[in-house]
Amino acid sequence: MNAPPAPLAGTSVVEFTHMVMGPTVGHVLAGLGAEVVRVEPIGGDRTRRLIGSGAGYFPMYNRGKQSICLDLKSGAGLGVARDLITRSDVLVENFRPGALDRLGLSYEECVKTNERLVYCSEKGFLPGPYERRTALDEVAQMMGGLAYMTGPPGQPLRAGASVIDVTGGLFGVIGILAALEQRHRTGRGQKVIASLFETTIYLVGQHMAQYAVTGTPAAPMPARVSAWAIYDVFETKTDPVFIGVVTDPLWEKFCRLFELDDLWADESLRENNARVEARDRILPTIREMIGSMSAAEVIERLDGSGLPFAPIGRPQDMFDDPHLNEGGLEDVTLADGTPVRLPTIPLELGGARIGSPQHLPHPGRDARAVLEGLGYDSDRIDTLVGSGAVGESE
């Protein structure tokens, strides 16, 4: 197997993170070839031990990283953290506002010993009246209108994945890459802040713009007036299938594929907006026709036609998806030795995919290697481990 692309090879990252948003930043940077050292508390990040919907957070967003456990409340542990920061190109953190500042690890302090440092803070809010508030993905979805748009009217519903945490992390990566590029010209790093709330607002911006253009508030998605007459989930004899007919040429193709001669013969339906106006007349016929077929039969007709369509997949189905198994999943060995396959970073660079086999690190697994990389000798390392300032993997 050829080595995956590594455009950030030689870039060093130190990460003080937990949960999803911050770890996403480090995961993407590691996937692009950066050396990422993850600083965890003694005993390991509590995210590792989450259950329920949080059980997948750690293995998904912490692959490709080294782990060192430090007691940041001790002078010796804090000293190791400062040495890591001094040698790093990038720092990533997503703790509550002021948490690293109170440890003396604010951007203003860190830049005194490393003016090239790009310091990325992943927060709930950008500077403004809310900036000291604590936020979570769900808080941002509720505040920013995404939950309102996702659920039925009067029933706000968060999206079914941590979309704001992950997208906020991606905006952090974009900011870091921009700051690194600028550093090539100036020799200096800078502080980058990405946030949950403003990320949510960017995602719902299309609905804000819709209101600005039309003067009519956007309806929640389950109650929306679609821009297309056929853009919905249709029941078949077996499983449901989503179908979208989003252009006039595709309307002709759809009618011919499913032998809807009467609908195609109706010239009043040749334009998209006219079809939207006639949606109540068109859809019963189409639902009846689709309902008489199996999902496999519908998909067979649509596949290769250029018409947008999708079977309704579930997360657990993706492990067996033939397309994903051609490069969209990578082999991962969990900390307990269990082999799994998890999604790669969805990029291709120079004709090659990003993914490669990964081992999820035990807490503090890489402590000695990281400390040796800082120039610490074995006696000093033994002293740090013995004092409890540095935790070592069992």
Q: Is the pLDDT of residue 394 over 80?
A: no
The CA angle 292-293-298, to the nearest 5 degrees, is 140
Per-residue model confidence as pLDDT tens digits over 139-196: 999 999 999 999 999 999 999 999 999 999 999 999 999 999 999 999 999 999 999 9
d(CA 319, CA 335): 20
Q: Is the pLDDT of residue 279 over 90?
A: yes
Q: How many CA atoms lie within 13 A of 313 on its CB side?
A: 11
Task: With residue 368 as reference, give the H or E element that holds it.
Answer: helix 367-373
Please state the pTM of the whole predicted model. Answer: 0.94
d(CA 83, CA 63): 23
Q: Is the pLDDT of residue 2 over 90?
A: no
- Residue 342 phi, psi dihedral angles, 5° rounding: -130, 160
**Full set of structural domains in the chain with CATH:** 12-203+327-391 (3.40.50.10540), 226-316 (3.30.1540.10)
Among 40, 39, 36, which Cα is nearest to 27's? 36
What per-residue confidence (pLDDT) applies to 1?
Answer: 56
Among 279, 92, 117, which Cα is nearest to 172's? 92
Instruction: Grade residue 138 by pLDDT with cuts at 50, 70 and 90.
Output: very high
d(CA 167, CA 307): 28
Task: With residue 85 as reference, give the H or E element that holds it.
Answer: helix 75-87
Measured on CA atoms in the order 301, 303, 306, 307, is the torsion positive or negative?
Answer: positive
